[in-house]
Amino acid sequence: MIITLDLIQTVGLAVCVYMLGRWIKSKVTFFQKYFIPAPVIGGLICSIIIFIGVQTGLFKIEMTNTLQDFFMNIFFTGTGFTCSLAVLKKSGKLGAKPAVGAVIFLVVQNLVGAGLAGVFGLNKLLGVAMGSISMSGGVGSGASFSPTLEALGAEAGTTVGVAAATFGLLLGSLTGGPVAEKLIKKYNLKSTGTAAQAEQKTAQPLVEKSFFDSVLLMLLAAFIGSYISKLLSLTGLNFPYYVGLLFGGALVRNIADAIGKELRMYELDTISNTSLNLFLSMALMSLNISKLIDLALSMIVILLAQAVVMMLWAYFITFNTTGRDYDAAVMAAGHCGVGLGQTPNAVANMAAVIEKNGPAPTAWFVLPVVTVIFINITNPIIITAFINWLA
């Protein structure tokens, strides 16, 4: 039996998948502890059910995923709005060192992934999917770049990228604490911070007029980004379409900063996060699980190797280039979180160390704000360079 879903029905299923994932996450402490996104939980369950239906011959679901790319592009436009040059300038040299180190590490991750993929006889593009695409990029990046990889012959790119990013969320939370504790004990580091650990964000109420203005601004930035994407294609490199939209968001944000126009980032983040959740739900519920089975062993080895390399980098490079003090140790923990998982993993890692050992105000600002901005800007460019090189 073939079940065909039109555009509205496909989006409706994505909503159900997300709500299921959110409900399960609220009941399972493990998912909360390791920041596993609700769309990943619900989407994987849905894809497994569909896989069983196909394997048993009971049913097959054909979806209309027209809006999947739209939601993905809006999410990356919103990511561009976080790239503020004014924030980077404010951080000065203090923020530059860990940010540059994090950018260099993106290259290392892709070299490790592609190199080990070659050892296992896999397409090296799948190694990049298990490199900075999924590790530093996260689930959204893993799902977004995968169609490009598959178009270049890397079969199962979507499944591998999403699975690697999901596993990375777990690794990101498991590795940061031990690295920081080892550094703190070895060098007898102490907190010198007296400020509050972090500035608490107050939720701003959504106002219809201003929220609509934010929607229009997001769409305008995406419109500008679409032409930036066309300009990038003239370079001869295979830039995914949404990279231009990311730069469109960044351009609008920095123009607003330059003219003193204050943006309602809370509303822009809401639009971006809503788009991300719907995009991930649609991408994950249509995963082809069967393609993952043959790659399971090699994937586990490559991802564990990525975790080891991340811990060594944080221990020797991140710590030594950011001051060799307590804040540097906290930043090393945070880098493990963002280098293998996502920003919430980094914040959680640092919060755990801070709760036990005292405040680290410098690390709290530099790592999740400045470093993540650099990663958001440079990772798509580095990934594109590797894809073009290996393809």
Query: What is the tens place of the pLDDT at every residue in 45-55?
Result: 998 999 999 88
Query: What is the tens place of the pLDDT at every residue in 145-159?
Result: 888 999 999 988 988
pLDDT recorded at residue 112: 97
Q: Which residues pair with 4 in a beta bridge?
A: 62
Span 89-99, mean pLDDT? Answer: 78
Q: Residue 380 in contact with residue 243, Cβ under 8 Å?
A: yes
Among the ranges given (143-147, 256-260, 322-326), the one the predictor scored with the smallest mean pLDDT = 143-147
Helix ranges (H only) for the chain are: 7-27, 29-33, 38-56, 66-80, 85-119, 124-128, 138-151, 157-187, 208-233, 241-258, 265-285, 290-293, 296-313, 319-321, 326-340, 343-357, 361-365, 372-390
Among the ranges given (6-20, 93-107, 338-352), the one the predictor scored with the smallest mean pLDDT = 338-352
- Residue 226: strand, helix, or coil: helix
Percent of the chain residues past pLDDT 90, beyond the cut: 55
Greatest extent of the chain over all pairs of C-alpha atoms, in Å: 66
pTM: 0.77
Q: How far apart are CA 336 and CA 316, in angstroms?
A: 12
Instruction: Identify which has the larger pLDDT, 248 or 34.
Output: 248
Average pLDDT, the chain: 88
Query: What is the tens place of the pLDDT at every residue in 178-227?
Result: 999 999 999 999 997 654 444 444 556 778 889 999 999 999 999 999 99
pLDDT recorded at residue 195: 45
Among the ranges given (59-68, 84-93, 300-309, 355-364), the one the predictor scored with the smallest mean pLDDT = 84-93
pLDDT recorded at residue 193: 64
Q: How far apart are CA 384 and CA 237, in angstroms?
A: 7
Give backbone dihedrals phi and psi of 3, rounded to 5 degrees, phi first: -105, 115
- In the block, tokens 């601004």 appear at 217
Q: Is 266 exposed, middle or buried (0-12, 13-18, 19+ CB in 10 A)?
A: middle
pLDDT recorded at residue 139: 83
Query: What is the tens place of the pLDDT at every residue in 368-386?
Result: 777 877 888 899 999 999 9
pLDDT recorded at residue 196: 43
Instruction: Return the closest-CA partner of residue 363 out of 391, 390, 389, 338.
Output: 338
Among the ranges given (12-21, 95-104, 109-118, 177-186), the one the predictor scored with the smallest mean pLDDT = 95-104
